């Protein structure tokens, strides 16, 4: 996925994926290194996905359980997050969002397109970026991941 983002000209500072409470994948864009301090932003979906993973691991839910069934307030908060996101971005700023199921992806796609039509984003991903076959072999959970990006007008 990092190679594909770079190929498409998407500037990602760093990427870290945790699995079983251990770092499964870590990548840094040059000239950044793990030792360098730089501004990063986090989103609530990352925390929700982690909580969902813990609950799944502990047998409190099944793979068929939808996140929205466990956290019904999430949908409203995700909509609000996507709506307010451009307010904290500078002109020309880029955002990339990873989704883990089709419902999240539809929400991000719909929001990005609506905000592009409204002139808030000057460019949005026309297609999702998916992990490579090699990456899926290294990390089978990456298979369902989709990434969409946008650039603020």
Residue 151 has pLDDT above 90, yes or no: yes
CATH numeric code, 2-152: 3.40.50
For tokens 């760093």, what's the residue? 14
pLDDT in tens, 12-47: 677 777 677 677 777 777 777 777 765 555 555 676
The answer to whether the bond into 31 is cis (omega within 30° of 0) is yes
Structure tokens at 57: 């691991």
Q: Look at residue 114 in the predicted model and tell me its pLDDT.
A: 96
Mean pLDDT of 79-99: 87
CA distances from residue 24 to 3, 19, 21, 129 in whole angstroms, order as listed? 17, 6, 9, 20
Q: Look at residue 124 in the predicted model and tell me its pLDDT.
A: 96
Residue 9 has pLDDT above 80, yes or no: no
Q: Domain residues of the chain, as ranges?
A: 2-152
What number of CA atoms fall less than 13 Å from residue 123's CA on the CB side?
Answer: 12
What Rg value do the Cα atoms of the chain yield, rounded? 16
The confidence band for 108, taking pLDDT boundaries of 50, 70 and 90, is very high
pLDDT in tens, 55-78: 888 888 888 887 667 767 666 777
pLDDT in tens, 109-127: 999 999 999 999 999 999 9
Q: Look at residue 110 in the predicted model and tell me its pLDDT.
A: 93
Structure tokens at 150: 């946008």
For tokens 């970026």, what's the residue? 129
């Amino acid at each position: 996925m990092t190679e594909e983002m770079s190929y498409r000209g998407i500037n990602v500072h760093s990427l870290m994926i945790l699995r079983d409470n251990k770092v499964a994948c870590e990548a840094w864009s040059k000239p950044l290194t793990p030792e360098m301090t730089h501004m990063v932003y986090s989103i609530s979906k990352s925390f929700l996905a982690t909580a969902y993973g813990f609950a799944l691991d502990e047998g409190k839910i099944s793979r068929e359980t939808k996140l929205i069934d466990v956290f019904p307030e999430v949908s409203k908060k995700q909509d609000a997050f996507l709506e307010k996101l451009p307010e904290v971005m500078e002109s020309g700023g880029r955002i990339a969002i990873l989704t883990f199921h089709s419902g999240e992806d539809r929400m991000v796609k719909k929001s990005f397109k609506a905000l592009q039509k409204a002139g808030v984003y000057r460019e949005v991903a026309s297609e999702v970026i998916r992990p490579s076959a090699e990456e899926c072999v290294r990390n089978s959970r990456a298979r369902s991941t989709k990434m969409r990006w946008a650039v603020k007008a």
